[in-house]
Copies of this chain bind each other. A is one copy, B any other.
Amino acid sequence: MSRVLEDYEKLKGRGKDLRLLSSVSMLLEWDQETFMPKDGIDFRSSQVELITSLLHKEKTSPEYKNALEKLIDLESGEIKSDALDGRKKASLREFRSDFLKETKLPSAFVKKLAKATSQGVNAWQHAKKDNNFEAFLPHLKEIVALHKEKADHLGYDAHPYDALLDLYEPGMTSKKLDSLFGELKPFLNSLAKKLSQKREKTAFLSANYPLDEQQKFNHFLLEKMGVDLNRARLDFSAHPFCTGFNPHDVRFTTFTSTTSFFNSIFAVLHEGGHALYELGLPYEDLGTPLADACSLGVHESQSRWWECFIGQGRPLWEFAFPHLEKAFPKQLEGVTLDHFINAINHVEPSLIRVYADEVTYILHIIIRYEIEKEFITGSIDLADLPRIWNEKMEESLGIVPNTDADGCLQDIHWAFGLIGYFPTYALGNLYSGQIFKTFTQTFPDYATSIAGGDLAFIQKFLHEKIHRHGREFHSLELIENATGSPLSPKPYMDYLKSKY
């Protein structure tokens, strides 16, 4: 083996140890949300803290830096040998980027931010419960101030918001978002107005479905999707999530309620989409960024793909609805396929983001994006947030919340210190829309295949186009490679137009 390949393997070995350790942290958190007895929480928090500090120590150690510097100039990003192939070069670019992100923030600042968000989450929980924005305001002020500082530490070219955005969606900028959202906003706004109607009576959605029967049907869907249960498992938790310890061990969850089976089905499809991505990452590259997901936006594209593009589509249910009827004949008595499809594709502006339909969803994100930018530029008084929120809701969705709990206090993200994160939810839908266009062109008979119960080709297609690449390309490049065109909101808009 050449010297440079040896150095690369050594770096990968260090990365593998980091992955072993970060996956331990994921297991601690997964267990906390699924099975941990409730009194275990204090000890568990200390465990997570310890592993996090061990990780940070190793990621910023002189030995790790030295292993990196043998291969890439940390200052300029220049790769020190031409002997490496393109994938390995991309891998080094991402190795460096992670290292810089890890080391740019002074540890005193990291601790300060951790404390502020820990207290922030606690204050937010009470403020939301008591509908008391004033109680959360001082915490929000501190968290926002620290994020301005964070942007300065991280550095940026055009806009300080880009520094934060880049943590979740590398390569994305507010300039690009302004352009994408500028085109989407009026379109979605007018489509929502056109489609909006009161929901029909849909008692079957909230009927009683025994949990073990739900799980049987959920597993039937997962098997069809191609989720390999020798490498993944589905459990229950209060909030559905997916965590990939490694491509041979992926955990995800759904809701545990007998009366919201359809929320659970769409959570299973959503988290199952995330799971398929994690399962499709290249195990042989474990220890390097090539075995990581590209970005949060691309991750979201995979979950929304299965939840909306496939999951809310007619073809899937032409095949699956008879199975559903057979498993739940009483609950679905008198419900036709048309009725069912209508019910799961109902469009109506609503107050809460996480329950929004696929037409209005992005409007919720744009509101948050506009506000976050103003957080960072300091152009609004945070005390005015409730008023600003409600004005934007009125303008975008034509409805206004009665309480801040259903308004600007609804999401945990800001309390948690996730500023710059919301746009990835919108991007996921746009990426998915563009991939879907390519998919329908590649498989003109896709609807017939799916309606016939063949879904295996979908997972293969996504694996080929997205999963196997890990972080070799940034999201915009990955989407362009996958679809032959630069990112545009058009395919998503066309998808909605043709569907509704």
Contact = CB atoms under 8 A, between A and B. Distances in A.
Interface stretch (A62-70, A244-252, A317-325, A468-476): A244-252
A37 B246 contact: no
Given A31-B31, A42-B248, A24 B37 contact: no
A20 interface: yes
A87 interface: no
A36 interface: yes
A27 interface: yes
Task: Find the residue from A38, A43, A46, A228 having the highest chain B CB count within 10 A.
Answer: A43
Contacts of A27: 27-28, 31
Given A230-B38, A249-B37, A24 B20 contact: no
Contacts of A260: none
Interface string A15-59: 011001101100110010001111110111011001100100000
> A-side binding surface: helix, strand, loop or mixed?
helix
A27 B245 CA distance: 14
A483 to B, nearest CB: 32
What is the total number of copies of this protein in its complex?
2
B28 A24 contact: yes
Nearest to A235: B35
A413 interface: no
Q: Which 8 A-B pairs have the closest CB atoms?
A: A40-B249, A39-B248, A39-B231, A39-B230, A20-B50, A43-B246, A20-B47, A37-B231
28 contacts: A16-B46, A17-B50, A20-B50, A21-B50, A23-B43, A23-B47, A24-B24, A24-B47, A31-B31, A35-B35, A35-B233, A35-B235, A37-B229, A37-B232, A37-B248, A37-B249, A38-B230, A39-B228, A39-B230, A39-B248, A39-B249, A40-B245, A40-B246, A40-B249, A43-B245, A43-B246, A43-B286, A54-B54
Interface of A: 16-17, 20-21, 23-24, 27-28, 31, 35-40, 42-44, 46-47, 50-51, 54, 228-233, 235, 245-246, 248-250, 286
